[in-house]
Structure 1
Amino acid sequence: MRILLVEDEPSLAEVLADAIADQRYVVDVATDGETAWGQIKNLDYDLIVLDMTLPKLGGIDLCKRVRSHGYQMPILMATAHDTTSDKVSCLDAGADDYMVKPVDLEELLARIRALLRRGSTSLSPTLKWGDLHLDPATYEVSYKNQSLRLTGKEYSLLELLLRNERRILSRSVIIEHIWSLDNPPEEDTVKAHIKSLRKKLRAVSAPDDFIETVHGLGYRLKQFSQNVN
C-alpha cells in the first residue's frame, strides 16, 4: 500500500513518515501542495495524509482539487486547531477523517488502518494462492499452515505478486510499487529479494517455481490447478 504524506515541517514529516513506513506501507513525502498534486497525478496512492496549512497550495484547496478530478482515495487531514469550523472545512472539502495536531502516532496509525479498510474491499480478505495464505490485516503469511517470517520488503513483494496474480511484474514496476520515491534501489536489489523470498518458500515445502521468472520481462506466480477459474 502506498501513502502520500503532505507535511511542510521537515522534522515532523520525518517522524510521521518513519512511523508509517514501520507499518510496511510505502511512504512518499511532499512538503507543499503543488508538489503533492504533481505526485498524485503520476502515482497511484491508496491514502493521503494531508496537513491543512501548506505553502503554494493549502490542504483544503488541494483536497478539493483531488476530489474535483475524480480521485477517490481516502484523505486524512491534520489540523492545527481543534475548532468546529476547521473540522467542517476539512470534511466539506472532501476529507474522510481529520486529526488535531500534535498528532498521536498510535491514533494516526489506527485511523490509517481504518480508512484503508473502508476504502478498499480488497484489503481485508486473506489473499490465497495455492496453499499460501497472506492476511493483510495482521501481516501473517503461511504455507500449508506453516508460518513464514518475512522482512518488510519480502512481505510487500509477496503481497504485490498475490494482488496481481498471473500478471507479469517487471523489476521497474516492483520498485515503483514497494519503494518510496526518495529511496529507489537498483534493479538487482529486486532480484536479491526474489531470491530470498523463494528460499523461505522452499523452506516450508513450496515449489521451487512458486514465483516464476519470465525471462526478459519479470516475475509472476505459478499457475496451480486450484487457481484456475
Structure 2
Amino acid sequence: MEDDERVGRTVVQLLREAGYAVDLESDGAAGLIAFELEPVDAAILDVRLPGLAGGGVELCRSIRSLSTEVPILMLTAIAARATIVECLDAGADDYLVKPFHVDELLARVRALLRRAPTALPPQVRVGSLILDPSRHSVERLGRTIPLTPKEFSVLEYLMRRPDAIVSTGELIDHAWDRNYEGYSNVVPTYIRYLRRKLAVQGAPDPIVTHRGAGYCVPSDV
C-alpha cells in the first residue's frame, strides 16, 4: 500500500518484473479490506497512507492483529529514529527509507519471505531440478536454464508443491494478481514455454498435465 501513486506504480513494476504477483492499494482502509479478503505472502506499507487516522502504522497494527506470520515491510521518507521505532513497535518486521535502491528493496523482500514462519528453504530441489530464488537461477542435470521472471515464478510455485496438482486458477492467483484480465490460455502457454526450456533428451517431462485439474512437478522428475 502506497500513498504516492508514482512510487506505488514503480514498486509494483519492480516486484512484477522480479516475478512477484502484486496488488496495489493507495488507501489504508481499502488495504485492510484487501488483506482480509486475499491471502498474501508479504505486505509493503507506506507510513503516510491515507484512509486511516494513523496511516500506515495503524494499518500495520491492524494487519498484525489479524496475522502474526505475514511479513511487513514499512516504506518511509522519514529517517527519524522515533518513526522507525514506532513502525517496529506496531509489528513491522523491517523498514526501508525512501528514496531506496531497487536491489535493496528486492533483497529485503526476499529476506522477509525467507524469515516468515511458513517459509520454505530458499533453494528448492525436486528430482533433477534445482531452483535458487536468491540467484534467480534454475538448473537441471548440471545445465543452467535461463527463465523470464514470470516463467521462474510459475516454476517456483509448482516446485514448492512437488507431486501436488496445482490448478490454473491457483497459478494465476499466485503468479499474476487478482486484477489479471489477460487471455485465458496464459497458464498453458507458460507451461509450454517451461517444458521447452527444461527439456533434456532422454529425461522425463518435468511438468505433468492432469487434464481438467491442473499441473504438477513430480518428485522423481
TM-score by length of 2: 0.90
Q: RMSD of the alignment, in Å?
A: 2.0
Please state if 1:32 is matched with 2:34.
no
Structure 2 residue matching 1:29: 3-state secondary structure: coil
Structure 1 residue matching 2:45: 3-state secondary structure: strand
Given that residues 146 and 204 in structure 1 are in contact (C-alpha distance below 8 angstroms), is that contact kept between their aligned partners in structure 2? no
1:216 aligns with one of 212, 216, 220:
212
Structure 1 residue matching 2:178: 3-state secondary structure: coil
1:117-143 superposed Cα distances (whole Å, 9 cap, x missing partner): 222574444211211111122111111
Match of 1:18 in 2: 13
Structure 2 residue matching 1:60: 3-state secondary structure: helix
Given that residues 124 and 136 in structure 1 are in contact (C-alpha distance below 8 angstroms), is that contact kept between their aligned partners in structure 2? no
Match of 1:3 in 2: none
Unaligned segments of structure 2, at least 5 residues: none
Structure 2 residue matching 1:36: 3-state secondary structure: helix
Please state if 1:43 is matched with 2:48.
no
The CA deviation at 1:191 is: 0.7
Q: Which residue identity is paired with 2:33? A: G
The CA deviation at 1:205 is: 4.8
Question: Structure 2 vs 1, CA of residues 121 and 181 (structure 1 numbering), >3 Å: closer, same or farther?
Answer: closer
Work out the CA distance in 2 between the residues paired with 1:175 and 1:79. Answer: 31
Given that residues 45 and 73 in structure 1 are in contact (C-alpha distance below 8 angstroms), is that contact kept between their aligned partners in structure 2? yes
Structure 2 residue matching 1:133: 3-state secondary structure: strand
TM-score by length of 1: 0.87
Structure 2 residue matching 1:30: 3-state secondary structure: coil
1:45-97 superposed Cα distances (whole Å, 9 cap, x missing partner): 22211001111122111111111112421111122322222112111100111
Question: Structure 2 vs 1, CA of residues 124 and 70 (structure 1 numbering), >3 Å: closer, same or farther?
Answer: same
Percentage identity across paired residues of the two chains: 39
Question: Structure 2 vs 1, CA of residues 110 and 133 (structure 1 numbering), >3 Å: closer, same or farther?
Answer: closer
The CA deviation at 1:15 is: 1.3
Structure 1 residue matching 2:74: 3-state secondary structure: strand
Question: Structure 2 vs 1, CA of residues 197 and 181 (structure 1 numbering), >3 Å: closer, same or farther?
Answer: same
* Count of residue correspondences: 219
Work out the CA distance in 1 between the residues paired with 2:211 and 2:42. Answer: 34
Match of 2:116 in 1: 119
